[in-house]
Structure 1
Amino acid sequence: MQFIDKVVWITGASSGIGEALAYQFAHQGAKLIISARREEELQRVKQNIKSECLIITLDITDSTSLATAVQTAINHYQKIDILVNNAGISQRSLVVDTQEIVDRKIMEINYFGTINLTKKILPYMIAHGSGQIAVVSSIVGAVGFPLRSAYAASKHALHGFFETLQLELKPENNIFITIICPGRIKTNISYNALNYDGSAYQKMDEGQEKGMNADICAQKILAAIYRKKREVYIGSFDILLIYFKRYLPTLFYWIASRVKPT
């Protein structure tokens, strides 16, 4: 029971990786806070959890909602040991077609919502003298990929923010940052992705369908958090793109320009 009695707050916990993380942390003895916009889905997740679990319905783009949520969490548990920033939305559209409203919405959810929640919880972790912040990025937080311009930009931005935060934190703060970069995981992320005009994509990508099981991904994420790893890549052959970009950039651009992006 690696996380016994640890208070773990997971955003985007109503489905996909977030839901799988909730089950894995509960199995490891954690006390949970699960958040998302859809309360009925959070209730469904809670019914499958045997350990203590607090539901906080949350719109991560609403600053007032964030402030209320943080106060509710602190009043209930008095601390947050681990924050897992998992809420996010993806995209399926070419740059030339993508409307500005899509770029802004993805940045509001994936970047601004995530850093605003982190900033509201960080003072409590500093006062408590310990904590860990995990952020679910993506392999496109390290490389670009077709049809993902705003999504990739938001994930790149998260890397810059959280790497800087880790450097600014003092050793005596005892606060650790873990950046998690999944590849293709079998979730509904493509169903909920945005088209060029902001409408829902509502299709299961072929690559997503063949991706890693969300439960296996969650197990690997827990292992990375437990070991306080700074950055972890989770997937199969798709994560090789990160290494190709770093060491064999010509090969990366050749592969990425030819791979089927959906």
Structure 2
Amino acid sequence: MNNKLKNKRIVITGASSGIGERIAWHVAQGGGIPILIARRKEKLEELVANLPVQGFWYTCDLADPEHIRTTFHSIFQDHGQIDVLVNNAGFGVFESVSDTDMNAFHSMFDVNVLGLIQCVKEVLPRMMEQNHGHIVNIASLAGKMSTPKSAGYASTKHAVIGFTNALRLEMSSYHIFVTGVNLGPVRTSFFDTADPGGEYKASVERYMLDPNHVASRIVSHLFTSKREINMPSWMEAGAKLYQLMPGVMEKVFRSQFSKK
């Protein structure tokens, strides 16, 4: 058991499946108190009922600012404080810019960026007052190295990385840790929306990360000063090379970049 988590109130958005669900399990196994947020009531009820400790759930549409406000108000009323916020909720649509409807761009930014920022804004005053806390923002390696048909999704994750880096510097004097998580493809239901035809998923199946392994890494770094978690390491190395020589990388890996 990770004693750092014992009795800590840990809010996880997008918690009804995938990485969020597995984070909830690892938090519970570490003695923490999972407080889960997602849209699907039935999935949340089922997950909480099967956790090894008592957990709590709240339905919330993270594209709705008022719903976010009322949800966090309820959490503070019920639990008094929040020790960790894991911003895991997000989705993508993999289409070319010319084919992507503006409503899809708005929706991705509403959830992936503005919803995430508002969740942070809801917890930040209390964390600053208690001089303690940890905020984990799950972004993507796509935010460091964009590829064709990911312009909308990658731009939201690029925004999350920038927001996270600035927040980390601002919170250092308040003993509030801020960690960014940048991932390659993960074996979750994310691709049901991002890639409904399944072509991209099939092409990267062998590279996909296990959500349980990702969740374990994230939870192991709670209440530490870990700046970033980047997975897989070989893809992070590729992102670093891309920053140094983007033209060469785009030429050499053009076919790989175009698999969406």
TM-score bracket relative to the smaller structure: over 0.9
Q: Which residue of 1 aligns with 2:70?
A: 68
CA distance in 2, matches of 1:256, 1:21: 33
CA distance in 2, matches of 1:244, 1:186: 25
Letter in 2 for 1:212: L
> Which piece of structure 1 moves more, 48-57 or 82-91?
48-57
CA distance in 1, matches of 2:213, 2:172: 33
Q: Could you tell me how far 1:238 is from its partner in structure 2?
A: 2.9
1:33 to 35, 54, 66: 35
Q: Which residue of 2 aligns with 1:209?
A: 205
1:149-160 to 2 correspondence within 5 Å?
149-160=151-162
Letter in 1 for 2:116: T
Structure 1 residues 166 and 236: alpha-carbon distance in aligned structure 2, compared to 1, 3 A threshold: closer
SS at 2:147 equivalent:
coil
1:230-245 to 2 correspondence within 5 Å?
230-235=227-232, 237-245=234-242
1:78-227 to 2 correspondence within 5 Å?
78-171=80-173, 173-193=174-194, 201=196, 203=198, 205-207=201-203, 209-210=205-206, 211-227=208-224
Say what the alpha-carbon RMSD is for the aligned residues: 1.7
Deviation string 1:135-172 (CA, Å, 9 cap, x unpaired) is: 0000011111221111000000111112112222251x
CA distance in 2, matches of 1:68, 1:258: 46
Contact 2:92/2:108 (<8 A) preserved: yes
CA distance in 2, matches of 1:185, 1:12: 14
Deviation string 1:49-100 (CA, Å, 9 cap, x unpaired) is: 1112110101111111111111111112111100000000011101121111
TM-score (norm 1): 0.91
Name stretches of at least 5 consecutive residues in structure 1 with no aligned partner. Answer: 195-200
SS at 1:153 equivalent:
helix
CA distance in 2, matches of 1:203, 1:46: 31
SS at 2:242 equivalent:
helix
Structure 1 residues 244 and 170: alpha-carbon distance in aligned structure 2, compared to 1, 3 A threshold: closer
Structure 1 residues 168 and 113: alpha-carbon distance in aligned structure 2, compared to 1, 3 A threshold: same
Structure showing the higher helix proportion among its residues: 2
Letter in 1 for 2:6: I
CA distance in 1, matches of 2:163, 2:237: 24
Write out the 4+ residue segments of structure 1 that deviate beyond 6 Å after TM superposition.
none
SS at 1:227 equivalent:
coil
Q: Which residue of 1 aligns with 2:251?
A: 254
1:12 is the counterpart of 2:14: yes
Contact 1:82/1:131 (<8 A) preserved: yes
TM-score (norm 2): 0.92
CA distance in 2, matches of 1:78, 1:56: 15
How many residues align? The count is 255
SS at 1:240 equivalent:
helix
Letter in 2 for 1:224: H
Contact 1:145/1:256 (<8 A) preserved: no
CA distance in 2, matches of 1:249, 1:70: 42
Letter in 1 for 2:99: D
Deviation string 1:20-56 (CA, Å, 9 cap, x unpaired) is: 1111111111101001101111112112211121101
Structure 1 residues 116 and 75: alpha-carbon distance in aligned structure 2, compared to 1, 3 A threshold: same
Contact 2:38/2:59 (<8 A) preserved: yes
Identity %: 29
SS at 1:20 equivalent:
helix
Contact 1:10/1:34 (<8 A) preserved: yes
Contact 2:134/2:178 (<8 A) preserved: yes
Contact 1:183/1:236 (<8 A) preserved: no
